[in-house]
A and B are shown apart, each in its own frame.
Chain A
């Protein structure tokens, strides 16, 4: 991770920017809210199971929104569910991140035309950080989405950017 990969011989002093330390801490333990919606949730489960092992990136499912850093919207968001998703998002503690997994939550997916009860994209109710395309995305794609999110977090800064 660029920070702790050096071996120290005597005094354990590491010099780093606060930004880097915070970002490193954040991105290495993104606790995920265990929350599945539809078919994509099965691929999300497969990602956390033995073969793909989400744990190695520090992603551990937590059942409560209060303890979660990241929510993966995995599946079709319906109108009935949209208000609940918004509520869940509001209950999460800052900083919070969102991965939208699958065409359905990106844009309505296969249900974009005749889906009278489907919300065409979860970004109509909550802000999305990373979109993962696919129907369903392969577990590798979800891992890639997570790495992209980590990259995004790595570049965050406490200092307001001057325009």
Chain B
């Protein structure tokens, strides 16, 4: 048998398909991947150090910048964690607005995931379609709180602003239009023969290793396990809504391949539309802040609290020593943990498949490196 020499190929930190500043060291045998070593830290922004120097409310803007595609979800998770530490309840209206914002943000985040995945594989049009609609979500957010990307909107114990006039109707309009876009994207990309050829049966992740690697979120569900924090460890008011948890079915290949992971995000967008519609129907009137002490100063203790982010399970482990600043805040970054399985998935595939696999895991480097 002919033996080729092993070669090491560097991909990144500046590479158009690494979704940011990630460096991959690929060990190759010809064109076959033998091993992948990710090198992280090119965006390490010292989040945890900042937390030790800031007061509890001051941390929220930094929380935004973790997973900058899903700032609302990050804020919601952090606010819930601090509220659990303080033992306070927030008004009904706040809960509903939080859910609406979080689900809209989930749609926006999945739009970027699906759109950029199309670019990775070579389809540019879905990206333009999805970004056109994403602008509308951002406009809704902007009307609400004045920022397009990093909001500082969900505060401990409440919200910074109430909803603007006509928000409900505009959101409904958007959701109705967006349903058509989903069908369009499905026709353009999901059922496209070339796309399926590139993604089906590539990078198959089975449930056992997914759990062992700590994979959560869409990636875990695509492997066939119905596990969603919104159902399995409910927070906020998610138990009041009727929605389904899609799981990977292996329609075009094995369960847990790249196509499954991709398509699961499309299905989740549809479920998020359902949740937002129900929340808009039930939205009560009321206060948008709860009575809080002037200085937020939890008693000594520690707590781990988690929410379901678009990327997976986002958790905050907060240790309080009874001061204005937390003693330690540790994030459980879903992207960081999901990325660690990359080497396992890529083994034995071709170089071109690395891009398909990496894109299907959907990482955000701000969260990987923090």
Contacts and interface: CB of A to CB of B under 8 A. Distances in A.
Given A34-B16, A35-B14, A41-B20, A78 B68 contact: no
Given A46-B135, A118-B46, A37 B21 contact: yes
A143 to B, nearest CB: 14
Contact of A49 (B15, B128, B148): B128
B365 interface: yes
Contacts of A41: 20
Interface string A29-59: 0000111111101110110011100000000
Contacts of A10: none
Given A34-B16, A42-B68, A136-B149, A50 B49 contact: no
B319 interface: no
Interface in B262-278: none
Nearest to A61: B16
Interface residues of B, number: 34
A36 B61 CA distance: 21
Contacts of A51: 131-132, 135
B45 A115 contact: yes
B13 interface: yes
Interface string B36-68: 000001111110011001000000011001001
A84 B23 CA distance: 11
A160 interface: no
B150 interface: yes
B196 interface: no
B288 interface: no
A39 B366 contact: yes
Interface string A86-112: 001000000000000000000000110
Contacts of A78: 41-45
Interface string B49-91: 1100100000001100100110000000000000000000000
Contact of B21 (A81, A115, A118): A81
Contact of A116 (B41, B46, B129): B46
Given A42-B68, A50-B128, A36 B135 contact: no
B131 A38 contact: no
Contacts of B317: none
Nearest to A135: B150
Contacts of A135: 150
Contacts of A37: 20-21, 43
Given A110-B65, A135-B150, A38 B365 contact: yes
B365 A50 contact: no
Contacts of A33: 14
Interface string A62-87: 01010000000001101011001000
Contacts of B16: 34, 61, 63
A68 B15 CA distance: 14
Contacts of B148: 43, 136, 138
Given A41-B20, A42-B69, A46-B135, A111 B46 contact: yes
Interface of B: 13-16, 20-21, 41-46, 49-50, 53, 61-62, 65, 68-69, 112, 127-129, 131-132, 134-135, 138, 148-150, 365-366
- 6 interchain residue pairs of minimum CB distance: A49-B131, A39-B68, A50-B132, A63-B16, A50-B128, A51-B135
Given A38-B68, A51-B131, A117-B45, 7 more contacts: A35-B14, A38-B366, A46-B135, A61-B16, A76-B43, A78-B42, A136-B148
Interface of A: 33-39, 41-43, 45-46, 49-51, 61, 63, 65, 75-76, 78, 80-81, 84, 88, 110-111, 113-118, 135-136, 138
6 contacts: A36-B20, A39-B149, A63-B16, A76-B45, A114-B50, A115-B46
